[in-house]
Amino acid sequence: MQLAACFFLGCGIFLASGYNSFSKSMETIGKKQYQVQHGSCSYTFLLPEADNCRSSAPYVSNAVQRDAPLDYDDSVQRLQLLENIMENNTQWLMKLENYIQDSMKKEMVEIQQTAVQNQTAVMIEIGTNLLNQTAEQTRKLTDVEAQVLNQTTRLELQLLEHSLSTNKLERQISDQTNEITKLQEKNSFLEKRVLEMEDKHMLQLKSIKDEKDQLQVLVARQNSIIEELEKQLVTATVNNSVLQKQQHDLMETVHSLLTMISTPNSKNKFIAKEEQISFKDCAEAFKSGLTTSGIYTLTVSNTAQEKKAYCDMETGGGGWTVIQKREDGSVDFHRTWKEYKMGFGDPAGEYWLGNEFVSQLTNQKRYVLKIQLKDWEGNEAYSLYDHFSLASEEQKYRIYLKGLTGTAGKISSISQPGNDFSTKDADNDKCICKCSQMLTGGWWFDACGPSNLNGMYYPLRQNNNKFNGIKWYYWKGSGYSLKSTTMMIRPADF
């Protein structure tokens, strides 16, 4: 747009100057307009023309277009003058055109230089922007390349680790495969050995079975012999008990006669102390104010069952219910299950209170058990259990003891945990030898030997080393018979 404006401005200037010169030369001659088109510029000329120039000569065409009519009468001179003027004008126009062309070349060069500079500046600015953008893109590409490189390095490390792990797993699988192969070989070998051992075992079982049959025959024979011996032993025991009873009766008769001679008006102390009032236990009688030792009538709560029991109101503060007493061998303690259940003997002397009564009594509240022992030299000892109870008959009157103190041994002579009660007709011990029959008395046997306070009574230390006597293992040992024993209970909160 700037180039076109300059071009038209230049054309206008030169046209104005040319027109002024041409108008001055044409002032003396007539005024006639002519137009010449040259390129993009249009030139208008005013040519002089004399009046009455028409001639009869025909119109001759010339380089310059005539505006006059053909029939215009011009003179030759005037025509020549016009031709000279036209020739001068033409030369002038050519010079003007050259000048215009030279001026336009300079302007075009300047315009081109300006345009080139502007374009160069624009290109430089665009280049600068492109360089900045390229630098930013290069920086971003560098960051991306760094991230890609880091990620690639990380992936390579992971691949390396996976490769190492895979190699390790392959080695482990190979080792395990080898181990499995070895185990399979060992398994095959062991299977062969097992088959061989099974064959040998079958042979051994067969031989053992034969031996077992032979042993069963021998055991049957021995059982019959043992039963015969037991019958003989029972017969001998009964005879011995009868003799002991007769001896005891004779001694009682002698004592009675001596007593009657010395104090003929005295009464038996036990019978005199017998009370007719009923109590749950001796501790209850003691708390009611009855502090004299003797025979009392006891009744289990919520029942009508009554029992005669000896109450010790003197030992250790009193209130003791005596459940067993041995002192002279006057009572046979080799009894049946039913007799030990209901009780037997005389509370004034030797007796067993009864497992059923003691079981019901000790399951109502906590009781303590005290066992007093005396040997033939007059030495005394005791064992005290802080917690004592008997289970029901369905549980075979199992004994429960806890918290041992006393002078009759640091270890209880009754095996723990509690054992079931056994009699000559009810074998509940943990031995195949029927301890109650062998040791002649009902007791809580674990194995035959440790203790039995209901064993055979041997008076005056006769047969002292018999294993079936009255024994308390951890005081005098299993081969020593005692002179007297007393088992008594009392509430723990007395």
Q: What tens digit of pLDDT does each residue of 409-426 get?
A: 888 888 777 889 999 999
Spatial distance between the Cα atoms of 430 and 437, rounded to a whole number of angstroms: 14
pTM of structure:
0.47
Domain boundaries, the chain: 84-204, 282-491
Task: Indicate the SS3 state at residue 420.
Answer: coil
Question: What is the pLDDT, as a whole number, of residue 35?
Answer: 65
Q: What are the Cα distances from residue 361, in Å, to 62, 243, 312, 365, 432?
A: 173, 36, 17, 8, 32
- Name every residue whose Cβ is closer than 8 Å to that of residue 303 and which is 6 or more positions away in sequence: 360
At the top level of CATH, the class of 282-491 is alpha beta
Q: Which residue has the higher pLDDT, 385 or 207?
A: 385
Tell me whether residue 34 is exposed, middle or buried, using C-beta atoms within 10 angstroms of its C-beta: 0 to 12, 13 to 18, 19 or more: middle
C-alpha 391/C-alpha 36 separation (Å) is 155
Lowest pLDDT segment from 63-72, 102-111, 221-230: 63-72
Bridge partners, 487 (sequence order): 324, 371
- Digit-coded pLDDT (tens) for 13-28: 444 444 454 444 444 4
* Per-residue pLDDT reduced to its tens digit, 334-360: 999 999 999 999 999 999 999 999 999
Q: Are 89 and 22 in contact (CB under 8 A)?
A: yes
pLDDT at res. 39: 64
Work out the number of other CB atoms within 10 angstroms of the CB of residue 117. 10
**Helix, strand, coil content of the chain in percent (nearest 5):** 50, 15, 30
Residue 1 predicted with pLDDT over 60: no
Task: Pick 450 or 256 by higher pLDDT.
Answer: 450
- The gap from C-alpha 461 to its chain's centroid, in whole angstroms, comes to 68
Q: What is the DSSP letter of 58?
A: P
Higher pLDDT, 466 or 140: 140
Confidence of residue 468 (pLDDT cuts 50, 70, 90): confident
pLDDT band (50, 70, 90) for residue 43:
low
Tell me, rounded to whole angstroms, the distance of Cα 246 from its chain centroid: 76
